[in-house]
Amino acid sequence: MGGATAATAAASIATILAPWDASAEALIVLCNWGANEMTGALPAEATWEANYLTIIDAVLAKWPNATVYLMYPWIQGQDAKAATLHGYIDTIIAARPGGRVVAGPDEAVWLKGADDGATMTTDGIHYSAAGMLEAAAQWATVLGW
């Protein structure tokens, strides 16, 4: 869902999930929300968390045995906002105890890197080819593969 925010995704989550077969039994769901919010003023914490929890709850309602992994987002020049969203995501994970919602990779570590995202992004936001490969490697590590 390129260009979406947690708010726009939450508002249309039923439509987003509708084409996916619930009987296919998704066991792992990878989420990465927040980069689009960092391009402007961040929404209020309670609002952003409620929107993200709406998405997560809809996913878990469709696939009750899934584990949802949440990437910590980052974009170039928005380190403070990324850190704020990191805290919001920690709150979300704590709001759904039992290991069904867990932390994923942290883009502020691997995407930003030592060169402020020049290698891993095409524009400080979107993954370059190297960034795509590294994102896959980061997810594989988190998933224990």
Give the C-alpha separation, 70 to 92, whole Å.
Answer: 9
Residue whose token pair is 């993954």: 127
Which two structure tokens, joined as six digits, stand for 113? 């890197």
Give the C-alpha separation, 127 to 35, whole Å.
Answer: 12
Q: What is the dihedral of CA 10, 7, 53, 58, to 10 degrees?
A: 10
> Which ranges of the chain have pLDDT less than 70?
1-3
Task: Please give the pLDDT value at position 3.
Answer: 67
Q: Please indicate, yes or no, whether the overall pTM of this predicted structure exceeds 0.85.
A: yes
Note whether residue 70 is domain-resident: yes
The answer to whether the CB of 119 falls within 8 A of the CB of 130 is yes
Note whether residue 13 is domain-resident: no
Task: Please give the pLDDT value at position 49.
Answer: 96
Task: Please give the pLDDT value at position 7.
Answer: 82
Q: Residue 74 belongs to what domain range?
A: 23-143
Task: Please give the pLDDT value at position 6.
Answer: 82
Note whether residue 126 is domain-resident: yes
Note whether residue 125 is domain-resident: yes
| pLDDT tens digits, one per residue of 85-104 | 999 999 999 999 899 999 99
Note whether residue 133 is domain-resident: yes
Task: Please give the pLDDT value at position 2.
Answer: 58
What CATH number has the domain bearing residue 134?
Answer: 3.40.50.1110
What is the number of domains present in the chain? 1
